[in-house]
Chains A and B, each alone.
Chain A
Amino acid sequence: MDAVHGWLKEHELRGSDVRDISEDYALLAVQGPNALGKLGLQPARAFTWEMGELDGVEVMINRTGYTGEEGVELACMSDDAEVLWDAILARRVTPAGLGARDTLRLEVCYPLHGNDIGPQWDAISSGLGWACALDTGFTGAERLREIKERGPEQKLVPFRMTEKAIPRQGMGIEGGGEVTSGSLSPMLEVGIGMGYVPGASAKAGTELVIDVRGRARRAEVSKKPLYKKES
Chain B
Amino acid sequence: MAASESYPDDLQYHPEHDWARIEGDEAILGVTWYAQDALGELVHFEPPDAGSTVAMGASYGEVESVKAVSDLISPLSGEVLEVNQKVVDAPETVNEDPYGDGWLIRIRLTNPDEREQLLDVAAYKAVLAES
Interface bracket on B: under 10
Does chain A have a CB within 8 A of B101?
A: no
Q: In chain A, what residue has the closest Cβ to B45? A: A164
Which chain A positions have C-beta within 8 A of B88?
164
Q: In chain B, what residue has the closest Cβ to A97? A: B67
Q: Is the CB of A184 within 8 A of B62?
A: no
Which chain B positions have C-beta within 8 A of A166?
43-44, 64, 69
Distance in angstroms between the alpha carbons of A159 and B43 in the assembled complex: 19
How many inter-chain contacts with C-beta < 8 Å in the A-B complex?
21
Q: Is the CB of B69 within 8 A of A168?
A: yes
Does chain A have a CB within 8 A of B129?
A: no
Q: Is the CB of B66 within 8 A of A103?
A: yes
Candidates A165, A184, A215; contact of B66 at CB < 8 Å: A184
Which chain A positions have C-beta within 8 A of B62?
213
Distance in angstroms between the alpha carbons of A201 and B112 in the assembled complex: 51
Which chain A positions have C-beta within 8 A of B69?
166, 168, 213
Distance in angstroms between the alpha carbons of A122 and B77 in the assembled complex: 51
Which chain B positions have C-beta within 8 A of A103?
66
Distance in angstroms between the alpha carbons of A168 and B88 in the assembled complex: 19
* Most chain B beta-carbon contacts within 10 A, residue among A103, A184, A186: A184
Q: In chain A, residues 62-118, which have Cβ atoms closer than 8 Å to a Cβ of chain B?
A: 99, 103
Does chain B have a CB within 8 A of A183?
A: yes
Q: Is the interface of A mostly helix, strand, loop or mixed?
A: loop
Which chain A positions have C-beta within 8 A of B44?
164-166, 184
Q: In chain A, what residue has the closest Cβ to B43? A: A184
Which chain B positions have C-beta within 8 A of A215?
46
Q: Smallest CB–CB gap between A206 and chain B, Å? A: 24
Distance in angstroms between the alpha carbons of A166 and B46 in the assembled complex: 10
Q: Smallest CB–CB gap between A33 and chain B, Å? A: 21
Q: In chain B, what residue has the closest Cβ to A215? A: B46
Distance in angstroms between the alpha carbons of A164 and B64 in the assembled complex: 12
Distance in angstroms between the alpha carbons of A184 and B69 in the assembled complex: 12
B 32-53 to A, binary, CB cutoff 8 A, 1 in contact else 0: 0000000000011010000000
Which chain B positions have C-beta within 8 A of A168?
69
Q: In chain B, residues 64-89, which have Cβ atoms closer than 8 Å to a Cβ of chain A?
A: 64, 66-67, 69, 88
Which chain B positions have C-beta within 8 A of A186?
66
- A166-B64, A184-B64, A215-B46 provided; 17 other pairs, C-beta below 8 A? A99-B66, A99-B67, A103-B66, A164-B44, A164-B88, A165-B44, A165-B46, A166-B43, A166-B44, A168-B69, A183-B66, A184-B43, A184-B44, A184-B66, A186-B66, A213-B62, A213-B69
Q: Can you sample 21 A-B contacts with CB below 8 Å? A: A99-B66, A99-B67, A103-B66, A164-B44, A164-B88, A165-B44, A165-B46, A166-B43, A166-B44, A166-B64, A166-B69, A168-B69, A183-B66, A184-B43, A184-B44, A184-B64, A184-B66, A186-B66, A213-B62, A213-B69, A215-B46
5 shortest A-B CB distances, which residue pairs?
Answer: A99-B67, A184-B43, A184-B66, A166-B64, A166-B44
